[in-house]
């Protein structure tokens, strides 16, 4: 399931330490009815979603969900992704063409994919990220299509980052309210990971 910051809401009141995911419109099961993992798609042509946060492979797997989540967290921490400008231009181009692929959107998509590949090839050197998120990036790099991510490892990396206090240095993430106007939201809060 592809995520983006606009599809994540931070709770209020007694749920202020909770993160809620909304808009499951493009969610797909990664397992068949018999419990086996779905087959690997043969073509990227059916990719839909927000280019900035879409996984490199555009496939329905836990690995790709974690990669999309990583882009959201990285965007929040760094303020932007290396391909943010290209992704915005892609979205505008795709909208202008009535959601049809054009030479411009294909070129922009290729540039975005190359930048994502470069991010993984460099181990995240082109992003201002804490060392714990570099560990997350390496974990994602080692996952196959059907692999189950080590969620405990990922949680421990985030908790380690939280314990250092360095997450307080980059505390504001832009989210959108119901009027689609940006507002500052304190912290990236996941129950048990981040404190006020």
DSSP annotation string for 157-192: HHHHHHHHTGGGGG-EEEEE-TTS-EEEEES---TT
Q: Span 163-183, mean pLDDT?
A: 47
Residue 191, in any domain of the structure? no
- Alpha-carbon span 137 to 56, nearest angstrom: 13
Residue 186: the pLDDT is 36
- Alpha-carbon span 165 to 141, nearest angstrom: 26
Model confidence pLDDT, tens digit, residues 27-43? 778 788 898 888 887 76
Residue 35, in any domain of the structure? no
Looking at the whole model, is its pTM more than 0.75? yes
Q: Span 77-82, mean pLDDT?
A: 84
Structure tokens at 42: 């043969």
Task: For residue 93, report the phi and psi dihedrals to the nearest 5 degrees.
Answer: -65, -45
Model confidence pLDDT, tens digit, residues 41-61? 776 555 667 888 888 887 678
Residue 116, in any domain of the structure? yes
- Domain count across the chain: 1
User: Cα separations (Å) of 77 from 105, 128, 188?
Assistant: 27, 8, 9
Residue 193 predicted with pLDDT over 90? no
Residue 18, in any domain of the structure? yes
The CATH number of whichever domain residue 67 belongs to comes to: 1.10.510.10
Residue 39, in any domain of the structure? no
Residue 179: the pLDDT is 38
Residue 194: the pLDDT is 33
pLDDT class for 183, splitting at 50, 70, 90? very low
Residue 80, in any domain of the structure? yes
Higher pLDDT among residues 150 and 176, named by residue: 150
Residue 192, in any domain of the structure? no
Residue 155 predicted with pLDDT over 80? yes
Residue 172: the pLDDT is 38
Residue 37, in any domain of the structure? no
Residue 196 predicted with pLDDT over 50? no
Q: Give the residue numbers spanning the domain of 106.
A: 5-30+44-186
Structure tokens at 80: 């932007």
Higher pLDDT among residues 174 and 133, named by residue: 133
């Amino acid at each position: 399931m592809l995520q983006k910051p606009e599809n994540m809401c931070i709770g209020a009141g007694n749920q202020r330490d909770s993160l809620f995911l909304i808009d499951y419109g493009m969610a797909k099961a990664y397992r068949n009815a018999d419990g086996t993992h779905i087959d690997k798609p043969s073509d990227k042509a059916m990719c839909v979603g927000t280019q900035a946060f879409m996984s490199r492979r555009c496939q329905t797997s836990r690995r790709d969900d974690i990669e999309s989540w990583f882009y959201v967290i990285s965007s929040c921490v760094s303020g932007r992704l290396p391909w943010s400008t290209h992704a915005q231009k892609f979205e505008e181009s795709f909208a202008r063409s009535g959601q049809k692929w054009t030479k411009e959107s294909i070129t922009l998509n290729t540039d975005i994919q190359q930048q994502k590949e470069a991010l993984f090839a460099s181990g995240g050197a082109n992003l201002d990220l804490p060392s714990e998120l570099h560990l997350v990036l390496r974990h994602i790099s080692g996952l196959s299509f059907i692999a189950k991510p080590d969620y405990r490892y990922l949680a421990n990396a985030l908790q380690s980052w939280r314990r250092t206090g360095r997450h307080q240095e980059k505390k504001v993430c832009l989210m959108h309210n119901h009027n689609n106007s940006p507002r500052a939201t304190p912290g990236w809060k996941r129950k048990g990971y981040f404190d006020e």
